[in-house]
Amino acid sequence: MTQAFNSIGIVGKYMNHDALQQMQSDLADLAHHLQSKDISVWVEQNTAEHAHLKGFNTVPLADIGARVDMVIVMGGDGTMLSVARALAQNPVPLVGINRGRFGFLTDLRAEEMLSSIDHILAGDFQRETRMFFSAQVFRQNKLLHAGVAMNDVVVKSCVRLLEFEVHIDGKFLQKQRADGLIVSTPTGTTAYSLSAGGPILHPNVEAIALVPVSPHTLSNRPIAVSSASKIEVTVVQADDAQVSFDGQIQLDMEQGDKVVIQRAQQMITLLHPLNYCYFDMLRNKLNWS
């Protein structure tokens, strides 16, 4: 049988020097294990440097998608989100090894990673696709910033109430005052959206959740709309407004600025073990009975 993954990238929690040193042994074991199977191993540049991985090909994160058939991410959900965004223009399947707190996206246990990876290499896995957001920030009708998000795009105020208007597919929805508004993919509904009282959407649901953060009027409730919707959020009044992408990229906003959010053409693919079950994951991570 032809091997499906001849070239594999490895990315550790590359933003955190101390975390990489702590997982140095696991990263080295993984890289050598793959190499022993005649797989071409490419280690993300910062991961290789700070985890002291020598003797492997190295490549910047932005370029790794063009070199490999799959990327293994070791870290937490935040690391997975960063890698997914970096690979948005050249998406390859992602496998997550959990070395974080929750692990909604990184579902392989570090203690079992080598056997789990062997099963995936043998073709024993579930393939799942997740949607991205494409978002643009406009100021006086000029493009200020464009980016993608896997979890959510959030318009918020850091100190005072934010007043904003929401249009969906060109139709006025509402003007409201709140600490902010979370526009979430189904993936993101187990993140900030969940803590703000939003619904959990199964990843296969073709929908977008709009969740107000501490709304001034309690009748302003979360709603879900079609994933094909075009959502526009305009800042009406705020002294300290910001927009964030997955909580990791932030941009200051001014009165009159507009964020346009819609489903991106790109999709990200996650590979799970055969026994993976989304509902089991929810029950375990959220401590449901």
Q: What percent of the chain has pLDDT over 90?
A: 86
60 three-state secondary structure:
coil
Alpha carbon distance 134, 18 (integer Å): 32
Residue 2 lies in a domain: no
**Beta-carbon count within 10 A of 204 CB:** 11
Task: State the chain's mean pLDDT as an integer.
Answer: 93
The Cα-based distances of 277 to 33, 119, 273 in angstroms read: 27, 16, 9
List the CATH number of the domain containing 194.
2.60.200.30
Catalytic-role residue among 26, 77, 152, 246 = 77
Residue 287 lies in a domain: no
pLDDT, residue 21, reads 81
**pLDDT tier for residue 2 given thresholds of 50, 70 and 90:** very low
216 three-state secondary structure:
coil
77 is catalytic: yes
Q: Is the confidence at residue 100, as pLDDT, over 80?
A: no
Which one of 123, 152, 167 terminates a domain? 123
Residue 48 lies in a domain: yes
H/E element, 77? helix 77-86
120 three-state secondary structure:
helix
51-89 per-position pLDDT tens digit: 999 999 999 999 999 999 999 999 999 999 999 999 988
Shared domain for 117 and 168, answered yes or no, is: no
Q: What percent of the chain has pLDDT over 70?
A: 99
Residue 275 lies in a domain: no
Question: pTM value?
Answer: 0.94
276 three-state secondary structure:
coil
Residue 234: alpha-carbon gap to chain centroid: 24
H/E element, 49? helix 45-50
Shared domain for 53 and 80, answered yes or no, is: yes
Please name every residue paired with 127 in a beta bridge, in sequence order, or none if there are none: 271
142-171 per-position pLDDT tens digit: 999 999 999 999 999 988 899 999 999 999
Parent domain of 198: 132-265
